[in-house]
Chain A
Amino acid sequence: MKRNFIASVEENATGRIEQIAGELRQQGCTIKQVLKLSGIITGSSSGKESKLEELKVSGIKYIEEDRAVGALGDD
């Protein structure tokens, strides 16, 4: 099952964030955004992995599910 994810890169790896995104592509991921200032990569997995942690290539600090978030006011 394909999973949407968000991933952060290590502080000392932000300079090669595009390279890390490329490595994720090689893992079959589709990259949605590379946020250079934030050091964050977003995208979706190929679905071949059993858990997101398997996509933690060198330089990635955390990888988490891209969650749905909603507005918090009721009318």
Chain B
Amino acid sequence: MNPYINNQAASGNKPKFTGKKLVLLNPEASFKNINEEATGAALRLAPSGDYKNIEEDYVKAFAEGDGIVFEKFNVAVINADHDEQVNNLMAARQSFQYMEPERYVYALDTPPQTNIGMLLWNFICQIFGIKKPGPVPTDPPVVVPPIFENDAAAYWAIHALGAMESQKTGRGVHVAILDTGMTLDHPDFQNRNIIFKSFIPGETIADFNGHGTHCAGIATGGINSTTGIRYGAASEAVLYTGKVLSNKGVGSDSGILAGMEWAVNNGCKVISMSLGASVGEDARYSNIYNDLAKKCLDMGTLIIAAAGNDSQRSHDSIKAVNHPGNCPNIMAVGALDKNSAIANFSCGGLNTDGGSVDIAGPGVEIYSSWKKPQEYAIISGTSMATPYVAGVAAMLCEAYPDASAIEIWEKLTNGARNVGLPARDAGSGLVQAPR
């Protein structure tokens, strides 16, 4: 059974791609070089400087030629039905470096635009920062959001991290997953040394929920031992699994705090907590958790927690980052989908006193290990984004063994990829594995 195929959510009826291609150009290349290469591939490209900044002229440019080169931004937009030429230019590895399909852009509360000229103009404005008069935004510059796909080597989330290009595996780094326990005899965790403890009275470490096994697989799993497809981040980290949530997926602060102390006592460099409780807007964070998280940072342990799943962005509802992720000394993680869009459910940084989202990770339709007999499942949540950040943190700890926990925090946020989302939603951006 391929659980990904069997469990994929419907993507809806809206078309995603226009057929045009966006191509990133070598910033050193002159238009003369670009034009020569394009002409050699039987493409007629015009420089954007030949046209005024009004939509009619750009539409005219696309009608008269095969595309436009935006020299200022080192980007070309190429008409549909030229895939072969574009592929040839990409293969030549000269001025044409990276290609993505151009996407439709939909307003949240209006039907999709059907005027192709207006649509294209709006898209160009969005990509290249051609702005209407108004206040200057403080968020990162708009970029083309990357799209990730599953393939025979890895699920999309691993590609989103750039983990396939990393040599790091979190080798020897102690990582704690505080969750619903662990399926200790999972086939992908054979020959792994797993240290465990249950903080739930009357329940062993055995995970009869599945959530904990899923999170452990994301952070410290590797490949599916049957299919060979990779889904886990730090496959050589030492897994500490603390059961602080019951088999029903519920726990309490007291059990979580005990789990955190256990993890720190055991030298865990990273603690991943895919758990939370809703808070109101303007609610203050827990001083107790925040002080403890600071103490953990000082002792070399980074605490990472889920931002929460309370939002319904499709209904214009964004909710505040959950407890305890809303503590300033805890790294709060938002969730992205494979199109680098913020997940519908992902909470936002609404509260000014703490409560910000610090970083984002893959969190929609995530494949990972699961309790038996199913063994694998695809689920969504900021719970899934969190252990990806924890796994990358372990990779960074391996890469920089002398780095403090605060320095690992900074490497995570400074190294995150800008995917064009506001800091309120995705913090510093999409977490990236060390290269």
* Chain A residues in the interface with B (C-beta under 8 A): 4, 6-8, 32-33, 35, 37-40, 42, 61-62, 64, 66-75
Contact = CB atoms under 8 A, between A and B. Distances in A.
A72 B252 contact: no
Contact of B277 (A62, A67, A73): A67
Given A38-B264, A70-B245, 11 more contacts: A33-B258, A37-B265, A38-B295, A39-B292, A40-B288, A42-B254, A64-B253, A68-B250, A69-B250, A69-B251, A73-B309
A59 to B, nearest CB: 14
Size class of B's contact patch? 35 or more
B67 interface: no
Nearest to A63: B288
B382 interface: yes
Contacts of B211: 71, 73, 75
**At the interface, is chain A mostly helix, strand, loop or mixed?**
strand
B87 to A, nearest CB: 39
Given A38-B292, A61-B291, A70 B249 contact: yes
Interface in B290-349: 291-292, 295, 306, 308-309, 322-324, 345
A31 to B, nearest CB: 11
Given A8-B292, A33-B254, A72 B323 contact: no
A68 B251 CA distance: 6
Contacts of B345: 74
Contacts, number: 115
9 contacts: A7-B288, A64-B286, A64-B288, A71-B209, A71-B249, A72-B309, A73-B211, A73-B383, A74-B381
B260 interface: yes
A37 B261 CA distance: 7
Contact of A69 (B210, B265, B276): B276
B385 to A, nearest CB: 9
Contacts of A35: 257-258, 261
A72 B274 contact: yes
Interface string B252-290: 111011101100110000000011110000000011100
A72 B261 contact: no
Contact of A72 (B210, B260, B381): B381
A72 B254 contact: no
B66 interface: no
Contact of A71 (B180, B260, B286): B180
A73 B345 CA distance: 10
B26 interface: no
Contacts of B286: 64
A40 B383 contact: no
A38 B379 CA distance: 33
Contacts of A32: 254
B35 interface: no
B377 interface: yes
B384 interface: yes
A64 B125 CA distance: 49
B13 to A, nearest CB: 23
Those 5 A-B pairs whose CB atoms lie nearest each other, nearest first:
A73-B381, A73-B383, A42-B254, A71-B249, A72-B383
Given A38-B261, A62-B287, A67-B323, A72 B251 contact: no
A1 to B, nearest CB: 17
A48 to B, nearest CB: 21
A75 B256 CA distance: 22
Contacts of B381: 72-74
B404 interface: no
Name the residue among B209, B261, B306, B384 with the largest chain A CB count within 10 angstroms: B261
Contacts of B380: 73-74
Given A6-B257, A32-B254, A40-B257, A72 B382 contact: yes
Contacts of B306: 72
A62 B289 CA distance: 10
Contacts of A62: 287-288, 291
Contacts of A33: 254, 257-258
B425 interface: no
Nearest to A36: B261
Contact of B257 (A38, A70, A72): A38
Nearest to B260: A38
A62 B261 CA distance: 18
A70 B288 contact: no
Nearest to B368: A73
B205 to A, nearest CB: 16
